[in-house]
Amino acid sequence: MPFKYQTSSEKTASMFKELLDSYLSKDTSICASNILAESLHECLTGQKQWSPNNVYLLMRELYWQTKGMLNNCITSIISLYNPRVPFPSGSFLTEEDIQRCISSLNTGGYAILPSFFSMPDVLNLRRELFGVHAKTPNGASSRIMVELSQLMSSRWLQNVATSNDFQYIASTYFGAYATLNRLAAWRTVFVGNDKHLSGDAMMYHYDHDHNRHLKFFIYLTDVCQNSGPHVYIPMSARRNIPYFISHSGRYSDNELESAGLTGITVVAPAGTLIIADTQNLHKGTPIRIPGHIREIVEFQYVDLSFGKRVPTIQWLT
């Protein structure tokens, strides 16, 4: 899905450059700021879809140097060209629901709408995505990922995405245009060991693949303490958190406890919608009891395609 780019201007590259120079510490090379400014500009003008050669990893470092302030300033430049979207017509969320979500996101970085989607819808989607045949995960993982082509063939997922409610929420939260750039779904099963925890995002971490992103998770199964609930720490990105957890990586529960942080566990029924700014600390949890599973769908909205390379979403129905 292309970004809505309104005007092209040489000025944007220099705006990015000026902004980066004002935030970069003196020992960060001028060359790095030139490359970063140029790639942000190329993404904004649609010349490139991603940042080349993992340039976004530099942004990740700058996130920590500036505690996310640089990212917000980059969004303000983006918003000059790709402004916020208007309230969607034909939306499935009421205006009141949407306002509640946005204010909860602004205060805690999260919004939870329990049993938001109806059981018939959830059951149909589960059947469509996971079928009836039992599958086992590959290698050490406890997660069975659904193929993107299968997700892109789902009329229901397409309807949810094109009704633009998610886009409106993300756009209002960012203060700039928001685009769906990643769609995923997976089933988590019991594996009975801890080898997969880091790879399966089951240790605390921050997501930093893009300048700003907002994830919309839908639980497709009832999720109890033993069936892999999502856990998050509200507004951890903006708190005065200790240096040892102020960088990208994976952290154990003990490390977070020693920093005085405990997570909020989302135990909730199938159909629950979790809206998450995952630049805050969060994780999934393993299935504790054989036979239990968790199935989940994830939509990711970003303010700019700049960042990690992802496959393009093209609806097939």
Ligand X SMILES: O=C(O)CCC(=O)C(=O)O
- Among Fe ion, ligand X, none, the one that 230 touches (CB under a kind-dependent 5 to 8 A) is ligand X
Q: Which residue is nearest to ligand X (CB)?
A: 284
CA 301 to chain centre: 7
Q: Buried b / exposed e across 183-203, counting CB within 10 Å, b at 16+?
A: bbbbbbbbbeeeebbeebbbb
CB of 300 to ligand X, least distance (A): 8
- Note whether 38 binds Fe ion by CB under 5 A: no
Asked if 277 interacts with ligand X (CB under 6 A), we say: no
- Which residue type, as a one-letter code, is found at position 203? M
Region near Fe ion per CB under 5 A, out of 1-9, 196-204, 238-246, 258-266: 196-204
CB of 8 to Fe ion, least distance (A): 34
* Biggest distance spanned by C-alpha atoms of the chain: 58
Nearer to ligand X, 138 or 240 (CB): 138
CA distance 235 to 103: 13
Shortest separation between residue 228's beta carbon and ligand X, angstroms: 7
303 binds, among ligand X, Fe ion, none (CB under 5 to 8 A by kind): none
Helices 155-162 and 165-174 cross at an angle (nearest 10°) of 40
Min dist. Cβ of residue 261 to ligand X (A): 16
Closer by beta carbon to ligand X, 15 or else 146? 146
Give the nearest distance from C-beta 294 to ligand X in angstroms. Answer: 8
**Segment near Fe ion (CB under 5 A), from 25-33, 162-170, 197-205, 252-260?**
197-205
Query: Nearest distance from residue 313's CB to ligand X, in Å?
Result: 16
- Residue with tokens 């996101």, as numbered in its chain: 105
Closest by CA position to 297, among listed 204, 210, 182 = 182
Euclidean distance between CA atoms 285 and 86, whole angstroms: 37
Burial of 119 (0-12, 13-18, 19+ CB in 10 A): exposed
Q: Which residues pair with 223 in a beta bridge?
A: 268
Smallest gap from Cβ 148 to ligand X, in A, equals: 15
Q: Which of 221, 278, 279, 280 binds ligand X (CB under 6 A)?
A: 278
Helix H or strand E segment including 189 = strand 179-189
Q: Report residue 228 CA to chain centroid gap.
A: 18
Task: Count interface residues toward Fe ion (CB under 5 A).
Answer: 3
What's the count of helices (H) and strands (E) in the chain, helices before strands? 10, 9
Contact between 277 and Fe ion per CB under 5 A? no
Pick the piece of the chain touching Fe ion (CB under 5 A) from 114-122, 185-193, 207-215, 269-277: 207-215
Question: Looking at 38, 200, 207, 277, which residue binds Fe ion (CB under 5 A)?
Answer: 207
Residue 209 makes contact with Fe ion by CB under 5 A: no
Q: Which residues contact 15 (CB under 8 A, 6 or more apart)?
A: 77
Residues 192-231 touching ligand X, rule: CB under 6 A, are: 201, 207, 230
DSSP 237: T
Contacts to Fe ion by CB under 5 A: 201, 207, 278
Contacts to ligand X by CB under 6 A: 201, 207, 230, 278, 282, 284, 298
